[in-house]
Amino acid sequence: MQVKAPRGTADILPGNTAKWQKIERIIKEHLESFAYQEVRTPVFEHTELFQHGVGQGTDIVSKEMYTFNDRSKRSLTLRPEGTASCARAIIEHSIYGGVLPVKWYYTGPMFRYDRPQAGRYRQFHQVGVEAFGSNSPYLDAETIILMVEILSALGLTAYELHLNSVGCPVCRQSYRQSLIEHISPVKDSLCPDCQLRFQQNPLRVLDCKVAACHEAIVGYPVIHDSLCVECREHYAIVRTALTDSNVDYIHDDQLVRGLDYYTNTAFEIHIPGIGAQSAVGGGGRYNGLVQALGGPYLPGIGFALGMERLLLALDTLGLGESEAPGVDVFIALMNDRFETQALKILNKIRKAGIRADKDYTGRSGKAQMKYADRLGAKLVILIGDEEIEQGFYTLRNMQTKEQLQLDNEQLVDSIKQIMAN
C-alpha cells in the first residue's frame, strides 16, 4: 500500500488551513456585501451536464474530466468547474421563474486531470459567483468590481485585469467568417487539435496553447471589429463603468472564449510575477448557457477564483502569513488527582467562549508550562495542593508573569478582563 495522496492532490494541514480560513473569510464578507447567497451543489453530476455545459471539444471535456460509471452504469463526472452545476440547479428548481436576478456563490473542490505543477492541482478549489437573470452591462461592471475588491482586500493590489467582448451569436457569425478566411490558407500548419477545431469551431483555434499555432495565424482579425451595434454599446458601458469606478483594465483582443454560449464581456485577472500559472481568476457573460442546457433564455454572468492560485500569489509576494489559532488559557495540574477538577474548569471557561486546553500525556509541571507556551496560551490556571486545599485558583499571566489568586466565582470574569486588555 502506498501511503501517499494521489498525484495532483494535497493535504492542507493545520498550519495552512489558518491561511485558507482567513482568505475564505475575507472573500465571504465581500460576496455577502455584494448580496450574493451561497449555493451548494453536488461534487459529481451526470457527465452530459458538462458535455453540454462546458462544451464538447473543450480540453476540459475531451481530456481532463474524471468520469466514471457508478454501480448502476450511470456515467458520472467529478465537477471540473462550478457554473454548469449552478445553471442546472437554476433550471431544475425553476429559479428562473422567481425574483431576478439571483446572485449565487459557491466554494469547494473541482477536479481536472491535468499535468500538476506549481499552482495547478487535479483536485483544486474555487470560489465562484453566478448572477442569473440580467443582461445589464452595469452588472458586468459590478461583477468585475467584486473580483477586484476581493483581490485588493487580500493585499493583491498589483493585478492585471484583461477585458474583452466576445459579442453575441449574431456578430460572431460574421467574425467566424472572417476568421475562416484568415486561417484557411495556413490550416495545414496547425496542430492536429487545431485542425479539428478549425472544422468544428474556428474560434477555438485562438485558445490553442501551441506556439506554432499562434505564429501560423498571426495577424488574425480581432472580434472587436466585428461587434454588432448592441454588443459594441454593451462593451462601451462596461468599460466606462469600470473607469468611473477607478478599476484599471487592459483591453485584450486575445481573450476569446470559443464556446457559443459565452457572450459579451470576458475577463481574466493575473498577478504578474507568480510564475506560469499567473491567472488567479476569470469569468464572463454566458447568456446562452441556461438555454443550451434545456432551460429558457436566461442571461448570466460570473467568475471563479482559484484558491490555490491566490495562496500561491500571497506566498510568492510574502503576504501569506496568518497565525494558526492557539488557546487563550491552559490548565496546568501539579498532581493528577486534580484531573476531574480540571475538566470542570475547562467546561466552564469553554462555555464562556474562551479557547482552553490541558495536557493529556502526563507531562511534569515544568513541561506543562512549556507546552502552554507552544499552544500560545496567554494565561495558565495552576491547580496544586495549596489551591485545592484553600479553594482558589492561581491565574498566571504568561507575558507579565503576574499571578492572581481567584476563587471559582471570579475566574471567568477575570480571564475575560485580562484577555480584553
Q: Which is nearer to Zn ion, 82 or 167 (CB)?
A: 167
Q: How far is the CB of 160 from Zn ion (least distance, A)?
A: 25
Kindly state whether residue 228 participates in binding Zn ion, applying the rule CB under 5 A. yes
Residue 104 makes CB contacts below 8 A (sequence gap 6+) with 36, 37, 38, 39, 86, 129, 130, 131, 132
When binding is defined by CB under 5 A, the residue of 65, 168, 183, 280 that contacts Zn ion is 168
Q: Which is nearer to Zn ion, 210 or 388 (CB)?
A: 210
Q: Which is nearer to Zn ion, 213 or 314 (CB)?
A: 213
C-alpha 412: how far from chain center: 39
Q: Which is nearer to Zn ion, 208 or 372 (CB)?
A: 208
Q: How far is the CB of 299 from Zn ion (least distance, A)?
A: 13
Residue 84 near residue 132 (C-beta atoms within 8 A): no
Give the footprint of Zn ion on residues 311-370 (CB under 5 A): none
Q: How far is the CB of 117 from Zn ion (least distance, A)?
A: 20
Angle, helices 408-420/339-351, rounded to nearest 10 degrees: 50
- Of 200, 220, 169, the residue nearest 58 (C-alpha): 200
Q: How far is the CB of 315 from Zn ion (least distance, A)?
A: 33
Q: How far is the CB of 191 from Zn ion (least distance, A)?
A: 3
* # binding residues, Zn ion (CB under 5 A): 11
Of how many residues is the chain composed?
Answer: 421
Q: Which is nearer to Zn ion, 39 or 194 (CB)?
A: 194
- Candidate ranges 65-73, 170-178, 181-189, 376-384; the one touching Zn ion (CB under 5 A): 170-178
Instruction: Estimate the share of the chain in helix, then strand, then coil, as percent rounded to the nearest 5.
Output: 45, 20, 35
Give the footprint of Zn ion on residues 182-211 (CB under 5 A): 191, 194, 208, 210
Q: What mask, x for binding Zn ion by CB under 5 A, covers residues 272 to 291?
A: --------------------
When binding is defined by CB under 5 A, the residue of 231, 293, 379, 382 that contacts Zn ion is 231
- Candidate ranges 6-14, 221-229, 247-255, 352-360; the one touching Zn ion (CB under 5 A): 221-229
C-alpha 120: how far from chain center: 13
Residue 312 makes CB contacts below 8 A (sequence gap 6+) with 118, 119, 274, 275, 277
Question: How many whole angstroms separate alpha carbon 307 and alpha carbon 127?
Answer: 7
Q: Is the peptide bond before 101 cis (omega within 30 degrees of 0)?
A: yes
In the chain, how long is the greatest CA-to-CA distance? 97
Question: How many whole angstroms separate alpha carbon 103 and alpha carbon 81?
Answer: 17
Q: How far is the CB of 323 from Zn ion (least distance, A)?
A: 47
Q: 293-302 burial, b for 16+ CB within 10 Å, e for fewer?
A: bebeebbbbb
Angle, helices 137-153/229-244, rounded to nearest 10 degrees: 40
What is the amino acid identity at position 221? P
Residue 407 near residue 399 (C-beta atoms within 8 A): no
Q: Which is nearer to Zn ion, 3 or 211 (CB)?
A: 211
Q: How far is the CB of 266 from Zn ion (least distance, A)?
A: 13
Q: Which is nearer to Zn ion, 231 or 349 (CB)?
A: 231
Q: Which is nearer to Zn ion, 228 or 354 (CB)?
A: 228
Q: How far is the CB of 66 from Zn ion (least distance, A)?
A: 25
The residue assigned the cell 429558457 is: 296
Give the footprint of Zn ion on residues 5-44 (CB under 5 A): none
Q: Which is nearer to Zn ion, 107 or 226 (CB)?
A: 226
Burial of 371 from C-beta contacts in 10 A (0-12 / 13-18 / 19+) = middle
Kindly state whether residue 213 participates in binding Zn ion, applying the rule CB under 5 A. yes
Give the footprint of Zn ion on residues 80-119 (CB under 5 A): none
Q: How far is the CB of 208 from Zn ion (least distance, A)?
A: 3
Q: Report the interface residues with Zn ion, using CB under 5 A.
A: 167-168, 170-171, 191, 194, 208, 210, 213, 228, 231
